[in-house]
Amino acid sequence: MLSKKIRINTLFSLLLVLSSANVWAWTEKDTWWETAYMSAHIADWGQTRDIAAQCDAGPYYETNPVLGRCPSTSRVNSYFLGTALLHVGVSHILPGKVRRIFQVGTLGMQLNFVSSNAQIGLKVNF
């Protein structure tokens, strides 16, 4: 099985090839949707850091199976930085209508996560 580093490098290389081979016009609306997604993503990132800071002693734990039940702050930072870059890359290579569906759908998911986390008392912690 390929190592995690090789898989990530392969994915980013593929994204670069696809983005240069398929040029779809990026619009101002795409920028607004991507900015909205990133705002929610950063809020989720901060809330996940809040979990990481207190999961050993508190009632909170992480439910994302990629991060594990009680991730370190460094693991949380790496995950959210990587997924932010991946989201931008994927958004850039998708054609217009599919891009919008992707951006709106992932924004909705992020807003749901942030809202649920806020309701249980998690703070955005940086």
Every domain of the chain and the residues it spans: 27-119
Burial of 47 per CB tally in 10 Å (0-12, 13-18, 19+): buried
pLDDT over 70 (residue 106)? yes
Q: Name the residue among 18, 1, 8 with its Cα closest to residue 79.
A: 8
pLDDT at 9: 58
pLDDT over 90 (residue 51)? yes
Q: In this structure, what DSSP letter does residue 42 have?
A: H
pLDDT at 118: 97
pLDDT band with cut points at 50, 70 and 90 for residue 13: low
**Mean pLDDT across the chain, nearest whole number?**
89
pLDDT at 122: 95
Show Cβ contacts of residue 107 under 8 Å, excluding neighbours closer than 6 positions: 33, 36, 37, 40
Question: 101-123 burial string, b = 16+ CB within 10 Å, else e?
Answer: ebbeebbeebbebbeebeeeebe
pLDDT at 56: 86
Instruction: Please work out, in degrees rounded to the nearest 5, the angle formed at the alpha carbon of residue 66 by the alpha carbons of 105 and 92.
Output: 40
pLDDT over 80 (residue 7)? no
pLDDT band with cut points at 50, 70 and 90 for residue 82: very high
| Alpha helices (runs of H) in 55-95, residue ranges in sequence order | 73-93
pLDDT at 58: 81
- What is the crossing angle of helices 73-93 and 28-54, to 10°? 160
pLDDT tens for each residue of 56-72: 888 899 999 999 999 99
